[in-house]
Structure 1
Amino acid sequence: MGRAHRPGRRRRIPRPVLVGGAVVVVVALLAGIAVVGSLVTNLFHTVSARPPAVDTRIVVPDESKAAKAAGQAPAESPEHDAAAWLAAQPTTYWLTPEIDPVEEVWDRVAHLAAEAREQDATVSIAVYGLPDRDCGNHSAGGLDPDAYREWTERIGDALRSAPDVRKIVILEPDSIALAPSCGSLDDRARYLRTAVENLRGVDTWIYLDAGHSAWHPADEMAGLLRSTGLLDEVRGVALNVSNYQDTANEFDYAHRLSDLLGGTHAVIDTSRNGAGPAGAQWCNPGGRLVGAASGAYGDGVVDTTLWIKPPGESDGECNGGPAAGTWWPDAAVELTRESR
């Protein structure tokens, strides 16, 4: 405690000093308000009791495509057993405008949040509706910019309506890694900035697309990520989404990116990498297996492993598969052959 001061006679302050002092006080107050506002904003956007980690329990969505397939497949068939097993695994839920349009997406997110409360778990969603989403490839589509803004606003409103639930957001897989070949990095960065502004909130950890270790060299990917201007606004990056690279290689890649980007964090998709990559094939390669479960591994850079791409969903019309995102019983049976 400081020394007490005895009250003394009030001294008359000359008018110029009083005015100048008032200006100083006002400026200081405004500066203080700005600082407090900045701190509150940053607190609102990033605070969490505990970031995602190895022991993070992820929601098991009750309305996944695996769950629906299990209910439709013949009982005691390989297709039923594979679907039922996958339906019980903690997996990221993909929000797409085709399945969860703007008038329905708030309810979907609210339902996932309710499941999280019941399961004492963390919601993990992939937001996948970017304009010119897949540059005309297997998952072509997405929304126009105005519709994308409204759609992500609805998602963000729903996320913020559940402040007691921890949320992981995988933002637009392939959006940055594909940008050089699409020739649309500036446009995509602008859309992603809109999405981050709309989605962020307390206990909401956002991860940007960063491809995987066999796609772009780490220094090249670091440059792409810097160009978005978003690295200070998100938790980190998502690696190996919908791909098959070895977990060890992705950990190494995550550390290289973190070193280049000043300590950014990562999550790694291990949903289908149990047998490693199949050479240069990425679209429905044969002989693959599910990988380590969500929450299996992590360190000071990699927050946790996650099942981001739901196993059993097709990569596209290649190697005998149906349209991208469609449930494919044969793939589900093959991926789970050593796990069920």
Structure 2
Amino acid sequence: MRLIAGKATALAAVLAALLLVPQPASAATQLIGNGTFNSSTSPWAAIGQTTVAAESGRLRVDVKAIVANAWDAMVASPTTAALNPGKSYTLSFDAYSTVAFKARATVQYTATPSSNQSLATDVQLTTASKRYSIPFTAATASSTAAEVTFQLGGSGGTPVVRFDNVSLLETQTTRPTALYVSSQSNPAKWAAANQGTTEAQAIQANIANKPIFEWFGNWFGDITQAVDSYVGAAQAQDKLPMLVAYNIPNRDACALHSGGGAGDATGYHNWITDFAKAIGTRHAVVVLEPDGVAAAGCVTKIGKDPEDQYRMLLDATQVLKAQAPNTWVYLDAGNATWIAADAMAPLLVKSGIANTRGFSVNVSNYITTADSQAYAVAVNGYLSGSVGAKKYVIDTSRNGNGPYSDSTPEDNWCNPPGRKLGTPPAQQPTGAEYVFWVKVPGDSDGPCGISDEPAGTFDPALAMALINGTS
């Protein structure tokens, strides 16, 4: 497909200089030499009927003439190292066009570009910037010096296309053992914005420097961008990213403070598919829909059928298993005081627990680790006769002082006073596979208890109360 001899020769020379001693990619090795275009377009080359320029931190590509073939108008950049045949990679990028059309993205060997492409996929560009995240496996070849191309011909017009944040990373061969600490968590961002204060120092030292789950829902307009950016940042550090999928229709049907979610089953299927594809073949941990199983019965209050909730969860487990095969998924099982173990087990079965690694307990709650573990063991006892005992994880983010008790137990889950941080996240030698901080310490449960903030909003006073174990 590469018919422009002069440009191909020039690009081959660049590749030869870069790849004199090919080095295997690693989890932390970015294989795109310039994916942010802050000052130049180099080493990206315009090929055929295109021109390129760096514009406001993006790569601007002008298609100069109407051409029939996609490869007659393209841009290409050599990878900074040869590919490793049989290994998994993820190509990610942001793109938009002056007109919507179907472009083509490839990762191909420069010695045989038209016949040996590890990745060759159509990409539907739109007039709004979108994130694209595409996993692939490097093909076998005798010469594995590679390039990334965006082929923009064949649209019937002369579009202007802009690219940004182009990334190519090899998936870790072995699963990372260290958990990812994000500088973009709510506590970390608050501490960074309030440096020098006593509160910021305490929150940074006790919460923000810990591996905390990132929650994903419909508050992200581009779920692919949100998930890919988070997982990619963890991958670049060879750390294990931890995500909560929280977008099922009729979400939080019992308490309503975190209500919302996808509009219907089709919308949720599409959302969880985009979520899973954005993780791709990379390693990750996902807690699937906190309270989704336990709160399903509450949807009858709004005229919905709990069985529909279980079917949507079943579908989500199937999608994650197929699209994110290296992700350990834990389907949420509520907490030890909500639904009895013998009743919870069959609900987990119909919700797809067989497709997952296991289940989570105590997410966003305060039950002690010992009681949570006893509950998980009991659930497993009932699962063993059907799908078999599963791995389980416990949320210890706020259970340091155990549950709160007063005369109105129905709201004791909502920012209660006198609670405390629990055991920091870590893999466990026995019992629970992990203790995690799934709930972000300091994020409000809603305008209730000792916080007036909306659900999911970081409240530094609430965080300090958890650090000090006081009100």
TM-score band by shorter chain is 0.7 to 0.9
Select the residue among 158, 165, 178 that pairs with 2:295. Answer: 178
Select the residue among 243, 249, 253 that pairs with 2:365. Answer: 243
Aligned pair 1:252/2:374, yes or no? yes
Question: Shift of residue 233 of structure 1?
Answer: 0.7
Q: Could you say which residue in structure 1 is the equivalent of 2:262?
A: 143
Aligned residues: 280
Aligned residue for 1:63, secondary structure, equals coil
By relative contact order (CA 8 Å, sep 6+), the higher-ranking structure is 1
Contact 2:314–2:350 (Cα < 8 Å) also in 1: no
CA offsets 1:176-207 (integer angstroms, 9 cap, x no match): 11112333321111211222222223221111
For residues 362 and 279 of structure 2, the distance between their equivalents in structure 1, rounded to whole angstroms, comes to 25
Contact 1:298–1:305 (Cα < 8 Å) also in 2: no
Give the structure with the higher percent strand: 2
Contact 1:66–1:84 (Cα < 8 Å) also in 2: no
* 1:253–1:206 distance in 2 versus 1, CA, 3 Å: same
Aligned pair 1:267/2:371, yes or no? no
State the one-letter code of the partner of 2:262.
L
For residues 237 and 51 of structure 1, the distance between their equivalents in structure 2, rounded to whole angstroms, comes to 20
Contact 2:296–2:309 (Cα < 8 Å) also in 1: yes
Q: Percent identity?
A: 34
Question: Shift of residue 71 of structure 1?
Answer: 2.3
Contact 2:296–2:310 (Cα < 8 Å) also in 1: no
Contact 1:57–1:90 (Cα < 8 Å) also in 2: no
State the one-letter code of the partner of 1:151.
W
* 1:298–1:51 distance in 2 versus 1, CA, 3 Å: farther
CA offsets 1:272-302 (integer angstroms, 9 cap, x no match): 1111111231100111111111115352x52
Contact 2:423–2:435 (Cα < 8 Å) also in 1: yes
Aligned pair 1:276/2:402, yes or no? yes
Give the structure with the higher percent helix: 1
Question: Shift of residue 79 of structure 1?
Answer: 4.3
Select the residue among 219, 227, 232 that pairs with 1:114. Answer: 232
Question: Shift of residue 331 of structure 1?
Answer: 0.8
Contact 1:79–1:332 (Cα < 8 Å) also in 2: no
Q: Could you say which residue in structure 2 is the equivalent of 1:209?
A: 332
CA offsets 1:56-96 (integer angstroms, 9 cap, x no match): 42211221111221122252232453156422110111001
For residues 142 and 231 of structure 1, the distance between their equivalents in structure 2, rounded to whole angstroms, comes to 21
Aligned residue for 1:268, secondary structure, equals strand
For residues 429 and 343 of structure 2, the distance between their equivalents in structure 1, rounded to whole angstroms, comes to 24
Aligned residue for 1:237, secondary structure, equals strand
Q: Could you say which residue in structure 1 is the equivalent of 2:189?
A: 68
- What TM-score do you get using the length of structure 1 for normalisation? 0.77
Aligned pair 1:327/2:450, yes or no? no
Q: Could you say which residue in structure 2 is the equivalent of 1:25?
A: none
Q: Could you say which residue in structure 2 is the equivalent of 1:11?
A: none
For residues 49 and 72 of structure 1, the distance between their equivalents in structure 2, rounded to whole angstroms, comes to 37
Select the residue among 311, 314, 321 that pairs with 2:441. Answer: 311
State the one-letter code of the partner of 1:180.
G
For residues 113 and 147 of structure 1, the distance between their equivalents in structure 2, rounded to whole angstroms, comes to 23
Contact 1:246–1:273 (Cα < 8 Å) also in 2: yes
Report runs of 4+ in structure 1 exceeding 6 Å deviation.
Answer: 48-52
CA offsets 1:215-268 (integer angstroms, 9 cap, x no match): 11111111222232x122111111000000000111111111111101122111
* 1:278–1:296 distance in 2 versus 1, CA, 3 Å: farther
- What TM-score do you get using the length of structure 2 for normalisation? 0.56
Contact 2:342–2:382 (Cα < 8 Å) also in 1: yes
Q: Could you say which residue in structure 1 is the equivalent of 2:273?
A: 153
Aligned residue for 2:230, secondary structure, equals helix
State the one-letter code of the partner of 1:302.
A
For residues 213 and 111 of structure 1, the distance between their equivalents in structure 2, rounded to whole angstroms, comes to 34
For residues 237 and 418 of structure 2, the distance between their equivalents in structure 1, rounded to whole angstroms, comes to 33
* 1:296–1:274 distance in 2 versus 1, CA, 3 Å: farther
For residues 147 and 180 of structure 1, the distance between their equivalents in structure 2, rounded to whole angstroms, comes to 21
Contact 1:258–1:264 (Cα < 8 Å) also in 2: yes
Aligned residue for 2:310, secondary structure, equals helix
For residues 298 and 260 of structure 1, the distance between their equivalents in structure 2, rounded to whole angstroms, comes to 23
State the one-letter code of the partner of 2:283.
R
Q: Could you say which residue in structure 1 is the equivalent of 2:349?
A: 226
Q: Which moved more, 1:180-189 or 1:150-159?
A: 180-189
Q: Could you say which residue in structure 2 is the equivalent of 1:35?
A: none
